[in-house]
Structure 1
Amino acid sequence: MAGNRDRFSTATRLRLLGEQTAARVYRSQSRRQDQRSRLTGRAAFLALIVCTLVLALAYPMRQYVSQRNEIAEQERLAREARLRVEELRDEKARLQDDAYIQRLAREHLHYLLPGETGYTVIDPGAAEQEREEQGAADRPWYSNVLEGVDNADRPAG
């Protein structure tokens, strides 16, 4: 019987040892899962903070970029305005010169100096076109429209 008891004790001891080992393994796994849960929670919190910061900075950054573009556009307009002012000052200085004024009057207004003879040359094509326009006024409007459509199909020549 003593052998039975030793065997029973050994079997009991082995069973207890197995249970203790299983309990240690279970505790170890549950600790690891707790750590993973905490780590996942930390990661989620960190991701939330990062997203919040991105959202908080997105609008001011968009405003900043928009204002930089607007400033660049205004600077470009100011440069163009300065160039236009310089051109106008040059033109004003030229208009102070009597010879320049005289040249403009001769070119654009066809003025002549005393003793000069002016000639006007009429372009034959322009005279013909003028006659056609006068003839078009005598016809009904729909004839002019149809003629315009027909002329649009003809090659220029």
Structure 2
Amino acid sequence: MDDDLIQRSERYLDGLFGEGAGEKHTRFVDRLKNPAMRETLHRYHVMESDTTHLSVEENYLIGMTVLFATRAYAPACMFAKTLLHLGVSKDKLLEAAARLSMWVGGVPAAEASAHLQRAIREFEKDGLGSMEAWFPKGEP
């Protein structure tokens, strides 16, 4: 994999989460056995860093709602925690989850809202520590 790609990905994450976060997240990505998948995730970070048409917050809000709609609750909750870290209000996140009902129905939207509420509680209690899975310490 291209070292420049990894460095650009890590710089983006350092900018969002603080110095060293990019390297820690690379350790998380490196746990994936498939090299194409690792490269894909780094490319996503580089794409996210381009805010020409979408802000970082807009990108993560789109991601959070799509992930909740597809019932990928764990990554959706991590995106929600990212948004909280970036200063997006929990009310905005809860409203986005509620509006999922227009597209996926009331019961799936309620389930997504329950997962989101738990993620909010975890972030309010532990801050970035609640995102430890994305930023492991030590070796891969």
TM-score in terms of structure 2 length: 0.20
Is the radius of gyration larger for structure 1 or structure 2? 1
Q: Which has the higher contact order (CA 8 A, sep 6+)?
A: 2
TM-score norm. by structure 1 comes to 0.18
